Amino acid sequence: METKLCQCCGMPLNDEEIISREKDGSLNGDYCKWCYADGEFIYKSKDALLDFLIGHMPNPDNIPEDERRKAFDGFLSQLKHWK
């Protein structure tokens, strides 16, 4: 079975507890609760999400920020929300 991914950040949506909800409480299986909540997107731009990822994702190999940003951007650009 293929794991669904949040179409904003790429988080695996393998637990109903992290799936986003609409204003009426219904599930929206395209997004995680950290990217979309109560019918609204949290990140208003891809740059805002990239800034968050750069500041919060582990970087054990000490990859320079510009390389990490380019890699994250390439991945995010494949997701429905950022196409």
Run of H or E residues at 80: none
- What b-and-e string marks burial along 45-54, b requiring 16 or more CB atoms within 10 Å of the CB? ebeebbeebe
Specify whether the CB–CB gap between 31 and 20 falls below 8 A.
yes
Q: Residue 2's pLDDT band (boundaries 50, 70, 90)?
A: confident
Note the pLDDT tens digit of each residue in 4-13. 999 999 999 9
Query: Tens digits of per-residue pLDDT, 20-41?
Result: 999 999 999 999 999 999 999 9
